[in-house]
Amino acid sequence: MHINLRRAFVTCAVLTACAAVTAGAAVSSFYDLKTETLLGQPADLGTYRGKVTLVVNVASFCGYTPQYQGLEKLHRELEAKGFAVLGFPSNDFGEQEPGSAQEIAQFCKRTYDVTFPMFAKVVTVPGRQQSPVYTFLGASGHLPAWNFSKYLIGKDGRVIAFYPSDVTPESPELRSAIAKALASK
């Protein structure tokens, strides 16, 4: 029995490792991923290839929710230069995004006049239900510890930097990194 358990454990470990390598090999760029818009339409993140993006896990009932205003300002200010904010609602932290897709869309439009792209609600935390978007982002060594965590993605689809929730869209550190990414070839 001891040998069978050991064999089962080794087999499981090998299969898990193979699955991880296969998943990692399949996606080498954020822009290789596909997902859904907030309202359930297919969305190919490849449409942002060649642009700089800021990926944010958002929530409607969080102390950081007012960051929507700064994110929207940033998006409008830099969109013509090849930049986009991409919002991914998540209910992972404090259940602060309990609403339906329609409720989230209405809240964002009514309260902050959000025009940047919003995508389907995701799970950011590790586990079987984790979104492929956050599986990819987490390979950078960082996963959100709370809502409004930010990933700066370069034109090539690689993670340039991670910023925790308390780094605001107005932060000189974030703005400088965006400017540098936009200036790169």
Cβ atoms of 162 and 140 within 8 Å: the answer is yes
Residues carrying an active site annotation: 62
Say how far apart CA 143 and CA 137 lie, in whole Å.
7
DSSP letter for 49, please. T
Closest-CA residue to 168 (of 38, 72, 60, 98): 72
What per-residue string of b and e applies to 91-121 under the rule 16 or more CB within 10 Å gives b?
A: bbbeebbebebeebbebbeeebebebbbbbb
Cβ atoms of 25 and 17 within 8 Å: the answer is no
